[in-house]
């Protein structure tokens, strides 16, 4: 159980939104005090980890039998696609942002809650190691499905980190797992609890300072030129309009903007797409 006496948060503390997923180490948060979090966003089954979550976001195929009972939903908000699709659309839509609930929940939080810090636990999306994939055992992992929007989780989380930093928000990973698909800086909960608002702003600014602006511009021009935007969020109905190779090229541009090199064989990406748009 968490300590019953919660410390008072200083006025200078940043607004921290905790994104809680279902990776095995999510249970570490059961020992954490409510401070320093302003809000806790649980994804799918993660509402079972702590009893003080504020928001639950779940996928459209999340079974009703796995939902919290009415008594647990009192004073909390449960959000479905009708609310998180418009939020993710505000950041470019599912094809570019990535169609998995960890990313969707983060973009929703950026849009709806306007945090200074997005702190993640249980969202590492690393399913290559032996053993249980989730804190409750084995589950279906979105990034393992053959989805054209999830070809590089590192690129998608990098895009999220840059989008957040532009909004004055720093993304951090609270995980202690050896491997993670998140490209965010790792931070211990004890360190995070000591941050001021200026600490968070300084770190968000550092993210932007380290971005390769030329590669970032190329990535954004390619997104606009490709035009893979589907307001309903149901991109799977338009797969005949989406070129997977172009999205792999786009992922490589986002990775390059972060100063990361893709380890897969180099693609013959057409430069025409962004050069034409840049000349307009």
Residues 187 and 173: beta-carbon distance below 8 Å: yes
CA-nearest of 219, 226, 221, 229 to 89 is 229
Q: Rounded to an integer, what distance in angstroms lies between the CA atom of residue 84 and that of residue 101?
A: 10
Answer for the pair 273, 222: CB distance below 8 angstroms, yes or no: yes
C-beta of residue 267 within 8 angstroms of C-beta of residue 248: yes
Three-class DSSP category at 249: helix
Supply the pTM of this predicted model: 0.88
DSSP code string of 215-252: HHHHHHHHHHHH----TTS-GGGGGGG--HHHHHHHHH
Q: Digits of tens for pLDDT over the chain (280 positions)? A: 454 445 566 778 999 999 999 988 899 999 999 999 999 999 999 999 999 999 999 998 899 988 998 888 889 999 999 999 999 999 999 999 999 999 999 999 999 999 999 999 999 988 665 555 554 445 555 555 679 999 999 999 999 999 999 999 999 999 998 889 999 999 999 999 999 999 999 999 999 999 999 999 999 999 999 999 999 999 999 999 999 999 999 999 999 999 987 644 455 566 544 454 454 4
């Amino acid at each position: 159980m968490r300590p019953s006496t919660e410390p008072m948060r200083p006025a200078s503390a940043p607004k921290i939104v905790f994104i809680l997923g279902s990776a095995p180490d999510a249970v570490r948060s059961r020992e954490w005090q409510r401070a320093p979090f302003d809000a806790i966003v649980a994804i799918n089954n993660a509402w079972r980890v702590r009893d003080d979550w504020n928001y639950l976001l779940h996928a459209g195929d999340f079974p009703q039998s796995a939902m919290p009972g009415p008594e647990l939903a009192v004073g909390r908000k449960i959000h479905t696609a009708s609310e998180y699709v418009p939020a993710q659309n505000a950041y470019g839509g599912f094809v570019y942002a990535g169609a998995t609930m960890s990313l969707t929940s983060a973009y929703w939080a950026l849009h709806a809650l306007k945090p200074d810090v997005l702190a993640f636990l249980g969202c590492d999306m690393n399913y290559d190691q032996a053993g249980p994939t989730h804190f409750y055992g084995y589950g279906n992992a979105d990034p393992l499905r053959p989805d054209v929007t999830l070809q590089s989780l590192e690129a998608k989380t990098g895009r999220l980190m840059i989008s957040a930093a532009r909004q004055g928000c720093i993304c951090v990973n609270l995980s202690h797992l050896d491997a993670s698909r998140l490209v965010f800086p790792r931070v211990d909960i004890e360190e995070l609890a000591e941050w001021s608002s200026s600490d968070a702003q300084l770190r968000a600014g550092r993210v932007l300072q380290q971005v390769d602006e030329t590669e970032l511009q190329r990535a954004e021009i390619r997104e606009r030129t490709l035009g893979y935007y589907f307001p309903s969020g149901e991109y799977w109905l338009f797969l005949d309009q989406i070129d997977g190779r172009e999205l792999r090229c786009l992922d490589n541009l986002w990775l390059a903007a972060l100063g990361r090199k893709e380890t897969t064989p180099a693609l013959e990406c057409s430069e025409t797409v962004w050069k034409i748009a840049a000349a307009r």
